[in-house]
A and B are shown apart, each in its own frame.
Chain A
């Protein structure tokens, strides 16, 4: 069952961005349809974690008629253990700006926004400088496009796309009901493309080198490369660009400390994979033919045998109980119940069988919560409780 794809490093994202003027001019000379088809044939999927096909997102938005449309770059990088977007924005900002402008051209938007995480305030000045240089060039080539920065205020939930729009509109950051989706009803109720920083950087790669170069990397259903934020019990924490489809065995071989007990794939909202399942697990999007394929926004946290999985879960649940927007019942109350529940079991105030009630509750949260936050709490909860049940009790 082990996967045949071994770990391959790549270097696209952080490679020089000096050709951005050329990439922009070259792309604006093509028709929107050509650009959309280029993206579709690259099979690029959103790198924020949800994995929606980027080409399709642009296509749906481009097809709508509206007096106003928007492109938004989601730089509210809030998933615990993810730290790649800030690196992109500080090292290759022009790639992101170029991609935003090309998207604007494709869908017919005149304005783009970067929703910058509140804690990334330190990036703002440099980014502003880059934007004014970028806009100056746009003016020179007579391309009317403006980019603004919108500073977030530190809420995890505002990374959820519709909560992000609400936040930008000056309202409380609460996710909206979907449908309607952002492609038809986004920022200010207008058709909007919202992409993660990394996704936009990959479109730059695709428009620069062509879709084939991208498509040839990775595996079926999971094409191209991905940035990984590697942290935890590893001798070499950092950001790495790797081809998708690698197995966790290979990953741990490269990054582990020879004592890796489990890997958390996709941050607190992702899955915990225990050592016994490394071989059957690969990193990529849904649709893999054999074994388990796990998507990730890039966070890879390694835990060695010194770590208590109870403490790990307790930490995640504290985070969710605090960062839930508090709007829908399953997430607001569910997170508190999971958190208080595991503590009660640990203290012996509830029987071990109470964990089964909590697992069933987590499933309800997955089925009924309003947005990705509440829906994904079950990922880490169930994978930790099921694989490390004894650590929850004793």
Chain B
């Protein structure tokens, strides 16, 4: 704990710890200082200068975000000098920004627009700079659209890509008037190391980085009488969607979401949680099979640690950066893609539908899922398994467009066959959730007993710490798993690609001997995904995580292998985990990518 110091902000005294920024000190006593390049997830840049304040006795104005308080400091946030300068800065930003607000995807959710509105920038005296530049829009990626004409060079995306994600696909290039945020050799986002995680989209204050939206395509499919439109909803969507529709962060809106989707006109509304449970069955069995081969059969070719494969951001990351570990990846497809493959096979058969007429839509907290759905690997049903991927934000837009008063909706249930889920499926939406769900099932498969944790809550793998480890000792296993007796299963969980990289570098250096690792590309796991409502910050992620675990706790069934629809699909269609049908539809293989 640092030393306490006293400062005054607009005459009001405030006591803070040494090292606290003027911005945080002011916030403590209810003085709001506008910011733009500042973001709670990121290091302080002090670039935009919107947060400048007057420190009495200093010649120049100080950026509140980047200036630490000093004892006795006298700060003024609303003087003529500050207002005048701030207004200039906002005007300057607007002069280099393509302020075509009414035709911008971010209209209504743009921080620059909000500032312009607060400061009532009624006329633009400065010369508009956009026409002097030859901007092009990069829309080659199936996930992300980058429009440099709307960029204000705050570098939030650059810091996100470097600090949170260690991807460094986006960087600052050139200088002065030509300074811009771009990729390696100014290639398209589709042709560089970008993992499509969408964290840049989630952190961009303007419309310079947005998801590629498929709203019109989905509307067309819905209104096409000839098409049968199925939608699946990812676990994290239900704890985020409410934020876009008038609820506080951390509100659960599963039932309302289902009701809204039915009103939108989807022919069937089902749950990705179902295939999350299925993933557990397949991936859990895969893990146990690997352990069996390694321990009982002494097979040296078996790769450990085995890692999860649900997060498409992580998949592209490993393809680029750790291709020699592709065999460590679970061969399971992500729940979205398992669902897609089954909808046009199992579901179509059961409902007597022509798979060619099924349009498979998913709503995801994720932009990388759009890329994943477009992968050539993902056509095992004989068709494109998932036709359109919507983000949580896009779904909220559709709900608003349809004139649905979300708050007034009565809760409804998912449709049958692939709509039943368990608490284990739900927690896929939070970091550590896949691990916890897998352990609940695998431990029980091996020992015949429930995991030795109160109320099935495997707390060591929960939380927001970047990297977490857990060990579970297997005691008195069932006869067929006798070789696992006394084995300590070593697991790790990492979320945010910077943490993922930290763990993978340790794996590469041979410094760790985990059996199983859960990797999620986004901070907090899917609930902090690139397709979730903006803003996303540590507090909001925490609230969403609480909602996820509350949802789990409230489920009648909380273990994947007890999901009645899972039992049914194995009986009627798949046979058993890792069966031939499973292998064909639910598993895949990825290949190395060049840098």
Contacts and interface: CB of A to CB of B under 8 A. Distances in A.
Interface in A266-288: none
Contacts of A369: 49
Contacts of B96: 332-333, 336
B81 interface: yes
A327 B63 CA distance: 14
A177 B46 contact: yes
A172 B172 contact: yes
Interface stretch (B87-95, B141-149, B492-500, B568-576): B87-95
Contacts of B11: none
B175 A328 contact: no
Given A179-B68, A333-B129, A322 B175 contact: yes
Most buried by A among B44, B67, B85, B177: B177
Interface in A350-394: 354, 357, 360-361, 364, 366-370, 375
Given A179-B68, A333-B95, A337-B126, A155 B175 contact: yes
Contacts of A332: 96, 153, 176-177, 179
B89 A177 contact: no
Contacts of A325: 175-176, 179
B177 to A, nearest CB: 5
B94 to A, nearest CB: 9
B224 interface: no
Contact of B153 (A326, A337, A361, A367): A326
B95 A337 contact: yes
Interface string B143-167: 0000000001101000000000000
B129 A368 contact: no
A340 interface: yes
Contacts of B172: 172, 174, 326-327
Given A360-B88, A368-B89, A329 B48 contact: yes
A172 B96 CA distance: 22
Contacts of A326: 153, 172, 174-179
B122 interface: no
Q: Most chain-A CB neighbours within 10 Å: which of B44, B46, B67, B68?
A: B46
A30 to B, nearest CB: 35
B127 interface: yes
A330 interface: yes
Interface string B117-136: 00000000111010010000
Given A337-B126, A354-B125, A367-B61, A323 B93 contact: no
A52 to B, nearest CB: 14
Nearest to A370: B46
Contacts of A330: 49, 88-89, 92
Contacts of A328: 46-49
B179 A327 contact: yes
- Mostly, the B contact residues are loop
A340 B129 CA distance: 9
Interface residues of A, number: 37
A131 interface: no
A315 to B, nearest CB: 15
Contacts of B204: none
B390 interface: no
A327 B177 CA distance: 10
Contacts of A360: 84, 88
A334 B92 contact: yes
Given A177-B46, A367-B60, A329 B176 contact: no
A255 to B, nearest CB: 32
B85 A367 contact: yes
Interface string B60-96: 1101001110000000000001001100110011011
B84 A336 contact: no
B291 interface: no
Nearest to B88: A364
Given A177-B46, A333-B129, A324 B176 contact: yes
A335 B174 CA distance: 16
B52 interface: yes
Nearest to A157: B175
Of A179, A337, A357, A360, most buried by chain B (CB within 10 Å of CB) is A337
Nearest to B155: A327
Contact of A324 (B47, B84, B177): B177
A234 to B, nearest CB: 30
Contacts of A329: 47-50, 89, 92-93, 152-153
A341 interface: yes
A364 B82 CA distance: 9
Interface in B22-47: 44-47
Contacts of B177: 321-322, 324, 326, 332, 335-336
B233 to A, nearest CB: 41
Contacts of A375: 60
Nearest to A155: B175
A40 interface: no
A344 interface: yes
Q: Which residue, of A327, A334, A370, has the highest number of chain B Cβ atoms within 10 A?
A: A327
A323 B70 CA distance: 33
A210 B52 CA distance: 45
A311 to B, nearest CB: 19
Contacts of A172: 172
B60 A340 contact: no
A302 to B, nearest CB: 28
Contact of B84 (A322, A340, A364, A370): A364
Contacts of A333: 92-93, 95-96, 129
Nearest to A331: B176
A361 B95 CA distance: 13
B92 A323 contact: no
In the complex, which of the residues A157, A332, A341 has the most CB atoms of chain B within 10 Å of its own CB atom? A332
Specify which of A321, A329, A354, A357 lies most central, judged by the most chain B CB atoms within 10 Å of its CB. A329
B85 A177 contact: no
Contacts of A344: 127
Nearest to B179: A326
Given A324-B176, A333-B129, A340-B129, 14 more contacts: A174-B172, A326-B174, A327-B179, A329-B48, A332-B153, A332-B176, A332-B177, A332-B179, A334-B92, A335-B177, A337-B95, A340-B127, A361-B92, A361-B126
14 contacts: A157-B175, A174-B172, A179-B68, A322-B177, A326-B178, A327-B153, A328-B49, A329-B153, A330-B88, A330-B92, A332-B153, A337-B95, A341-B126, A361-B88
Interface of B: 44-50, 52, 60-61, 63, 66-68, 81, 84-85, 88-89, 92-93, 95-96, 125-127, 129, 132, 152-153, 155, 172, 174-179
Q: Which 4 A-B pairs have the closest CB atoms?
A: A326-B179, A333-B92, A177-B66, A324-B176
Interface of A: 155, 157, 172, 174, 177, 179, 320-330, 332-337, 340-341, 344, 354, 357, 360-361, 364, 366-370, 375
